[in-house]
Structure 1
């Protein structure tokens, strides 16, 4: 399929061997390890293939794309663009510089390339790629000459690179009707090009992006949902599941997860100021909170951006002794998307179930002290308690204890349930 893309037979044979080596089970893939796996005396043949051999890789890419067109014939194809980066130790690599890449979880010294894939219900195939050349690299003639960057390659935005790749894919016969990408690819220039090419698109937008519809109305995108959960759900799989679906998380870490708690405890909290204080009274107790926030990058959980240390002191009304507790929370929300006060509100809001259900059952109805334990009696009693709590809420009573005291007379109880 791509034999004619090589100027010499030796390069073609070496390329075939290199592909076999890349498919082999080796721990690390580089010219040295691949040469050893292939039985070569050294890495020189493979290095020559990659750096000096004459190989029309653009033509090879087109031939591969034509093969994909044939294999996906008759299927609904979506073109998907995304970028990824490779960490580098030097700016001598073409396009290497300090830039953002999700692959390295932030800003660092890396190369970034934009890829275009053809996606169907049964297949996902990369059909094109373009190395992103930052503006400073494109303007540095000396570096370009040393690295061998062709003169015709100039600075182009990732959106422009994507538009060119989409046009090439359609010219090669890819039968696509839709394009998809994340918020990097939501620019007006690219969207206009997609419409001109007859493609529909589904692209992500940032939480601050404003969309104008066909009627001229402007709509501001809402940020992803924020899911709060107790320590039971502070699992890597749960965090990854939420982020894959565009949601943020706020997870509590307690001492029942000693490894995670120790790692968070070791952060330099003495150097972190207290930036939020809270003093609240309710549910029969007085509670004080001190909140500290440290910025992290992927610590413990996928996409983790901030860690909170919450020091709580509380005592029941009438008690003199305070009880104290320190808990940690970790969130995927960066500081620019959520203030400490907002996160503190969400953290407290997580206790809605505890305060509206468990507290009422344990304190108002005294379930903790209940001696009812046989057969289905506890479940039946809990159902009756839930019925009372719900009826009082519907009647407008925020505080269940106050509602109970207001319905000590028989006729008022019957009226509460619509019994006359």
Structure 2
């Protein structure tokens, strides 16, 4: 890394934020927007409005608070710009669009969408907001491209509470898988290039999301529960455990991608299956992908056994095991994005309570993360070019 590299990235960031200045009808929020994105990327201990303002050299956080709450601009327009920027910088026909949700633990009951609900951060019920997200992942890098805020029924059934928090009047209750459908529909409408959609069992268990993908011939790999409703050749009911127990498996040891300790190696097997009352798209088939740990694990109070996870794959009939495993491995990229978004960019450090402010803050964090991902990908390309030139 050289001084010239740093100066170049600084110029790239300025060009990016200034290039989005058309979203604002006044010069003040345009300038504040650039300052805030730069502060989100900086090493600021607390990325609330006060911490960001102090880093930016502002006397008070009021300019940032006005940008998030009072200025005239559209966070959904920025969302679409972030998506297009990520795809332009990382785009690949083999890309995976990945869905998962993350949480922000909050106090009180005024923050939009907050309620006692399951929190993946702690594995228990917490007073939190739940944010379904989409990541775009390729070998070059990965970053968020869309977001939604889940509103529990305790919110959507209380019009006064929603009105106070600025929730649009036409916003109705939607499950987390339904919110992912909405985000995936936007990806398809924008003609984003990608090869796979991936999600964990919280989404793979949802028949509505699966049907959405079947109707649009979306290739997917989603983790599924053991009781996924399947049928055999005679139309009799069976489940994933039946296939694991009753079939002969050809296990292949393959990497699900590199982790912090090297390649994540598992044994994999695949079996063609029929999902009850859910036919695949024309030219597609359903495959149950079984992942088994390399070694037996000891479990308290039980004999040692393999750790097993099941994935349902909806893909063109000729799709190989290697392609399925690669796509299943990319699913972990969204967890890295969740961690980066919170630990480095303050995605959950906001002090806002209303609908518009929440969407603006989270979408600006997405832009900051997108800049990091695209910049890293550019560094990789530049290094490859330098190595190629040296070899010549």
Contact 1:65 1:172 in 2 (8 A): no
Distance change (3 Å), C-alpha of 1:32 and 1:345: closer
Per-residue CA deviation, residues 177-234 of structure 1 (Å, 9 max, x unaligned), is 32110111121111111111211211111233333467745332249x9xxxxxxxxx
How many Å apart are 1:74 and its aligned residue?
Answer: 4.2
Q: Which residue does 1:55 correspond to in 2?
A: 73
Per-residue CA deviation, residues 105-161 of structure 1 (Å, 9 max, x unaligned), is 221100001001111122212100000011110111111111111112211111111
Contact 2:90 2:142 in 1 (8 A): no
How many Å apart are 1:68 and its aligned residue?
Answer: 2.5
Where do 1:326-365 residues align within 5 Å? 343-346=300-303
Per-residue CA deviation, residues 240-272 of structure 1 (Å, 9 max, x unaligned), is x899x8869966xxxxxxxxxxxxxxxxxxxxx
Q: Which residue does 2:4 correspond to in 1?
A: none
Distance change (3 Å), C-alpha of 1:132 and 1:215: farther
Contact 1:87 1:104 in 2 (8 A): no
- The structure 1 residue matched to 2:166, chosen from 148, 151, 154, is 148
Q: Which residue does 1:379 correspond to in 2?
A: none
**Is 1:4 equivalent to 2:52 in the alignment?**
no
Distance change (3 Å), C-alpha of 1:216 and 1:23: same
Structure 1 stretches of 4+ with a deviation exceeding 4 A read 245-251
**Is 1:193 equivalent to 2:225 in the alignment?**
no
For the residue of structure 2 that corresponds to 1:103, the secondary structure is: coil
How many Å apart are 1:344 and its aligned residue?
Answer: 2.4
How many Å apart are 1:83 and its aligned residue?
Answer: 0.2
Give me the TM-score of the superposition, normalised by structure 1: 0.53
Where do 1:270-349 residues align within 5 Å? 343-346=300-303
**Is 1:34 equivalent to 2:52 in the alignment?**
yes
Per-residue CA deviation, residues 270-327 of structure 1 (Å, 9 max, x unaligned), is xxxxxxxxxxxxxxxxxxxxxxxxxxxxxxxxxxxxxxxxxxxxxxxxxxxxxxxxxx
Larger radius of gyration: 1
For the residue of structure 2 that corresponds to 1:208, the secondary structure is: coil
User: CA RMSD, aligned part only?
Assistant: 2.9
Contact 2:92 2:194 in 1 (8 A): no
- The structure 1 residue matched to 2:223, chosen from 204, 212, 233, is 204
Distance change (3 Å), C-alpha of 1:214 and 1:176: farther
Give me the TM-score of the superposition, normalised by structure 2: 0.57
Distance change (3 Å), C-alpha of 1:86 and 1:73: closer
Contact 2:197 2:220 in 1 (8 A): yes
Distance change (3 Å), C-alpha of 1:112 and 1:119: same
Residues of 2 paired with 1:140 and 1:242: CA distance? 48
Structure 1: unaligned runs, 5 residues or longer: 226-236, 252-330, 332-342, 351-420
Distance change (3 Å), C-alpha of 1:213 and 1:45: farther
Q: How many residues align?
A: 244
Contact 1:242 1:249 in 2 (8 A): no
Residues of 2 paired with 1:214 and 1:177: CA distance? 30
Distance change (3 Å), C-alpha of 1:104 and 1:149: same
- The structure 1 residue matched to 2:128, chosen from 72, 92, 110, is 110
For the residue of structure 1 that corresponds to 2:86, the secondary structure is: helix
Residues of 1 paired with 2:131 and 2:119: CA distance? 10
Distance change (3 Å), C-alpha of 1:76 and 1:34: same
Residues of 2 paired with 1:115 and 1:144: CA distance? 22
Contact 1:77 1:175 in 2 (8 A): yes
Contact 2:99 2:135 in 1 (8 A): yes
